[in-house]
Structure 1
Amino acid sequence: MRATFMYGAGDVRVDTVADPVIKEPTDAVVRVVLSCICGSDLHPYHSLPASDQGTPMGHEFLGVVEELGRDVAGLRRGDLVVAPFAFQDNTCDFCREGVQTSCRHGGFIPADATGGGQAEAVRVPQAAGTLVKLPVAADSDLLPSLLTLSDVFGTGHHAAVRAGVNPRTSVTVIGDGAVGLLAVMAAKRLGAEQIVLMGRHKDRTDLGREFGATDVVGERGEEGIARVRDLTGGDGTHTVLECVGHLPAYEQALGVVRAGGVISRVGVPQYDEAPIGFASLFGRNLTLTGGPAPVRAYIEELMPDILDGRLQPGRVFDRTLSLDQTPDGYRAMDQRQALKVLVRP
């Protein structure tokens, strides 16, 4: 099969490799129908050390079940399924508590060196607890939006849930990437009436307004902080959803959050030195939360709004490429020529 590998910073290739096979009785092999490139894939694109073997890429996909291990219940060959970016048994104590990314028998896709979601097929461990059957056909126009349930919409929703967004809370979303825009959508869905989107790319922030942002702040640093505070009577917002992962975004979050408020981080952190002392979190009674989204916990909640057309999170995909063009997709996203690239094998 064809699969995408990264051999170092900026070096993405599509190789021919062995087809994935069942290794454990809880596995499934899924033929990929749609996948995509994640903003978090750009972190290794900037920094991955060079290697000869390459790193399999892609953790967001949906597809058709081709093979099932003997212990997989609840699925059949031919089922169209969506796969969360983390696999889990969905039965252990952590899974039952809604923290599937900490499953005692789980892990993250790609699960082995065969390939990831940016491929023609994927081996999925713990298939019964991971894969969710989709009630549409493989040619449905809803597939791009349903694909967002594998990560990006679930991650934006997780940011809002961990922050406790509700009709009584004001919200700042930091970042106009796909996760940030879908965090806006999630905050609106949960009832927030004031949603400030901090982003500088007009085509993206325009989409953010359509998703529910009431205000857009293009400034960064102290200027951006002052602008948000102007919009909130000088206090800042009750919640801040940090969807970037770089230290300046965290520092901006500290500047715009209201005393007693919550900062929820879902941008994969590219730093370890975040201030948490008296002058930052402690002195203002702030809460810091977030983490890798247990998107499996949210799929059944979010899917109905997509199926009935109330929400269209798939609008974040603004370019579609073939699998062999995946390296072009990385370049386009890195150069801000595309917001999020859809990949069709």
Structure 2
Amino acid sequence: MFGAGDVQVREVPDARLDRPTDALVKVTHAAICGSDLWRYQKLAPTPDGVRLGHEFLGVVEETGAEVSSVRPGDLVLAPFKWSDGSCEFCRAGLHNSCLNGGFWGGALDGGQGERVRVPQADGTLVPLPMEPDDPRVPAVLALADVLCTGHHAALSARVGPDSTVAVIGDGAVGLCAVLAAARLGAPRIIVLGRHPRRTDLARQYGAVEVVAERGAAAVERVKELTGGHGADAVLECVGTGAALRDALDMTRPGGAVGYVGVPQDGEGVDVRRFYRRNITLSGGVTPARAYIPELLPDVLSGRLDASAVFDRAVGLDGVPDGYKAMAAREALKVLIRP
């Protein structure tokens, strides 16, 4: 990406091993993320460009001398951040805060390309018991980010079998949050969105009611639907200050907000909005690598299937148009097959 709205396909030096803990992965499937769109809308012009892509899976082609968990020929999934799996934060399940971790793209290879050098391969890559042409691959790819992020929102908001849940956002993360809340047993899920194709999918995933209003009107509508008190758990999957304020306002006293939308506008929140009502605010960056082992069996069995969020597929040459389609809301989430 060379600036806002300017995505180009370029030849770059071949990825290659640099350290004995590296693996070289040939990408077979990748995706464009909703969080990529914020940069697509705002990135200042940069002559060198920024490499893109943090959701990918592929086949291991080569490994460094110290890599033991994967070998050439393995199909592997990479979460959206690499981590060593052994530092104090990884051991605590906070792989996103790994002392030796980092994000894909930038100076490192991005997933929206042909090959990626994977640092800390043993702590990062998840071997998959399948082949690249397995029809379950898109569902598994969702674990790289959006499905784990929806799960993180639900856990952070303490969703359980007695929870009335409101999900703010009908993008891929919001839809995955609906799936996650349903998986955790929530009997009533309300999704806030106004795009029929997306809200219809939310209903398929477990939502029972749709609120199309925004702002104060949305807050009042959720309260109306919940006996005037608000939802037990609100999952904020947008990333704006306005969305977070609405989430806090539509949470019942003693309830919880799980916020996972990447903060974009820097707008603050008046702490009195949740202090007075004993509301818990939790969330942040998703430790996807910690969640994948738990969620993968349900994905492979078909119990947890987010593959329908991918409503367009392109090759590498089609990636620029994929960004345009998502920015114009003509596509929900674009699957890339290099």
TM tier relative to shorter chain: over 0.9
Q: Aligned equivalents of 1:57 and 1:291: distance in 2?
A: 22
List gaps (5 residues or longer) in structure 1.
1-5
Residue of structure 1 aligned with 2:193, choices 181, 189, 199: 199
Q: Percent identity?
A: 55
1:61 and 2:51 matched? no
1:124 and 2:103 matched? no
Structure 2 match to 1:270: 264
Structure 1 match to 2:26: 31
SS in 2 for 1:296: helix
Confirm or deny: 8 A CA contact 1:19 1:114 kept in the other structure.
no
Residue of structure 2 aligned with 1:253, choices 232, 247, 250: 247
Confirm or deny: 8 A CA contact 1:276 1:282 kept in the other structure.
no
1:114 Cα deviation from its structure 2 partner = 5.0
Q: Aligned equivalents of 2:67 and 2:191: distance in 1?
A: 43
Structure 1 match to 2:2: 7
Confirm or deny: 8 A CA contact 2:241 2:269 kept in the other structure.
no
Q: Could you state the TM-score of these two structures normalised by the residue count of structure 2?
A: 0.98
Letter in 2 for 1:25: P
Structure 1 match to 2:294: 301
1:274 Cα deviation from its structure 2 partner = 2.3
Structure 2 match to 1:333: 326
1:73 Cα deviation from its structure 2 partner = 1.2
1:272 Cα deviation from its structure 2 partner = 2.6
Confirm or deny: 8 A CA contact 1:17 1:114 kept in the other structure.
no
Structure 2 match to 1:344: 337
Q: 1:114 to 1:290 in 2, by over 3 A?
A: closer
SS in 2 for 1:75: coil
1:93 Cα deviation from its structure 2 partner = 1.4
1:277 Cα deviation from its structure 2 partner = 2.2
SS in 2 for 1:12: coil
1:186 and 2:180 matched? yes
SS in 2 for 1:271: coil
Letter in 2 for 1:294: P
Confirm or deny: 8 A CA contact 2:240 2:267 kept in the other structure.
no
Moved over 3 A (4+): none
Letter in 2 for 1:95: C
Q: Could you state the TM-score of these two structures normalised by the residue count of structure 1?
A: 0.96
Task: Choose 142-151 or 88-97, whichever is displaced more.
Answer: 88-97
Q: 1:252-291: CA deviations, max 9, x gaps?
A: 112211111111111100133321422x121111111111
Letter in 1 for 2:8: R
Q: 1:114 to 1:129 in 2, by over 3 A?
A: closer
Confirm or deny: 8 A CA contact 1:250 1:274 kept in the other structure.
no
Letter in 2 for 1:191: G
Residue of structure 2 aligned with 1:76, choices 52, 68, 71: 71
The alignment's C-alpha RMSD in Å is 1.0
Q: Aligned equivalents of 2:82 and 2:271: distance in 1?
A: 35
Query: How do residues 287-298 of structure 1 correspond to structure 2 at under 5 angstroms?
Result: 287-298=280-291
Task: Choose 243-252 or 188-197, whichever is displaced more.
Answer: 243-252
SS in 2 for 1:89: coil
Letter in 2 for 1:174: I
1:194 Cα deviation from its structure 2 partner = 1.0
The total of aligned residue pairs comes to 338
Structure 2 match to 1:218: 212
